Chain A
């Protein structure tokens, strides 16, 4: 029941995302970011998957950008540099923290898996655990 609800929600999100991405790649991208006004078709195609994924965020950005005066200058990356440097270095120190947390978890997973494999080795056969494909199953008498 829960699984079906999750799957249905994901499917609805994805369908809206795909429709939005087509509109965003065609018109919205240049409204949100003026640098993209003369962008190539290849660029618009590359942006589409991300737009399908992040459509709620981009929908808000598009709406805000459209409401803004046309003469407003867009922020250039250089203006963000001062924020970039401390953020970048802080994230680097958080990466160490992430590995300190992940390292024992990953080690535990591997130990449990290798031990489990050793215990059931006599009964192991290649491709034995996954259900056999329906095509082959239906072909059997």
Chain B
């Protein structure tokens, strides 16, 4: 959250996060090379290449797990907060793997390395001869596009819709990497556990994404039924903790976050202006609604970021009948102030 661009918006929490990430990667790479040196008779450069390759795959599995799991447990929120750094790190590890593989297997031939990767000289007779390296190259190109456009400058200048669509290509990259591993190293690995680990990791990622998607779909369908008679029931006053929110779907394309704060209840858009983060999963910090993804902040009563920041999101009218909260299905223009609705009022705010 900034009024001008910086290379990296580090703060104490993000620095601590990155230090832990760097340490974990160093331990993994060192551990892999030491363990594999003892187990296999392979040249050191191949071991390092595999260490970076497997490390990148594991990091990708972690990254793809964060989104669906964060919807189930707030414990994943710290990982969600800095997912962008994980993504760029994963790309750099994949790049080192690709560079080592290119130099080692294609660097000293007659053809130039890129032509050598793209042209398969082995006759195709089955899965074992499938040209797996172009699959890895295609995945690397997608990961590069994502890492290169991860800065907020690109979000602003490509438009959020295009940026988000581009970054959803990570699913395609994941499928390409699974195929790259399945038709590549899996065919030559002596240890059968490698095949089962690949299958288990893939099943885990596909499973949690399908489960999260089905859950969202059901909530959307229920929301359409609720919104049929004008104002939508949010729930009872006691359901929302102080400083927290409840998400309400107003249809397939609108989510509202109803916050309880020191001055009463306020409703704002459930989607952050920055990267579409789920504001209802955030909390009130220093008097402002704080997005769980990257810490963007808004005033609950107006949907405006505190000065000098300029982000604005739509607000919604609330009313409390008895102990039940209702929200208007019509959004106000972004940044429109709405007085908070107090629990004791018993009428429209």
Contact = CB atoms under 8 A, between A and B. Distances in A.
Given A78-B312, A88-B164, A114-B182, 16 more contacts: A35-B4, A39-B5, A40-B7, A46-B8, A77-B311, A83-B159, A83-B160, A96-B217, A98-B168, A98-B172, A100-B213, A110-B182, A114-B199, A117-B187, A126-B189, A135-B108
Contacts of A124: 187-190
B310 A76 contact: yes
B5 A36 contact: yes
A73 to B, nearest CB: 11
B107 A93 contact: no
A129 B187 contact: yes
A136 B107 CA distance: 12
Interface residues of A, number: 76
B271 A88 contact: yes
A131 interface: yes
A84 B216 contact: no
Interface stretch (B111-119, B230-238, B339-347): B111-119
Contact of B105 (A106, A126, A131): A131
6 shortest interchain CB distances as A-B pairs = A42-B7, A96-B213, A134-B108, A113-B182, A116-B127, A88-B276
A99 B160 contact: no
A141 interface: no
Interface string B143-160: 011011101011111011
A3 B164 contact: no
A72 interface: no
B206 A103 contact: yes
B220 interface: yes
A17 B100 CA distance: 24
Contacts of A131: 105
B40 to A, nearest CB: 6
B148 A50 contact: yes
Interface string B97-134: 00000001101110010110011000000111000000
B240 interface: no
Given A36-B153, A49-B148, A90-B253, A109 B190 contact: no
B165 A7 contact: no
A5 to B, nearest CB: 10
A140 interface: no
A117 B188 CA distance: 8
30 contacts: A10-B114, A33-B156, A35-B3, A36-B5, A39-B5, A40-B7, A43-B6, A43-B153, A49-B147, A53-B149, A77-B160, A77-B274, A78-B273, A78-B335, A81-B313, A83-B161, A84-B276, A85-B254, A88-B164, A93-B213, A95-B171, A95-B209, A99-B206, A106-B179, A107-B206, A110-B182, A112-B127, A114-B199, A126-B188, A134-B107
B47 to A, nearest CB: 10
B4 A39 contact: yes
Interface in A46-79: 46-47, 49-50, 52-54, 61, 76-79
A27 interface: no
Contact of A113 (B175, B187, B274): B187
A65 to B, nearest CB: 10
A133 to B, nearest CB: 5
B255 interface: yes
Given A96-B210, A133-B104, A110 B274 contact: no
B82 interface: no
B128 A116 contact: yes
Nearest to A114: B195
B48 interface: no
A117 B186 contact: yes
Contacts of A39: 4-6
A120 B119 contact: no
A124 B190 CA distance: 7
Contacts of B4: 35-36, 38-39
B337 to A, nearest CB: 15
A139 to B, nearest CB: 11
Contact of A6 (B118, B165, B172, B195): B118
Given A7-B114, A120-B128, A134 B109 contact: yes
Interface in B264-314: 269, 271, 273-274, 276, 304-305, 310-314
A128 B210 CA distance: 37
B311 A78 contact: yes
Contacts of B144: 49, 53
B183 interface: yes
B154 A109 contact: no
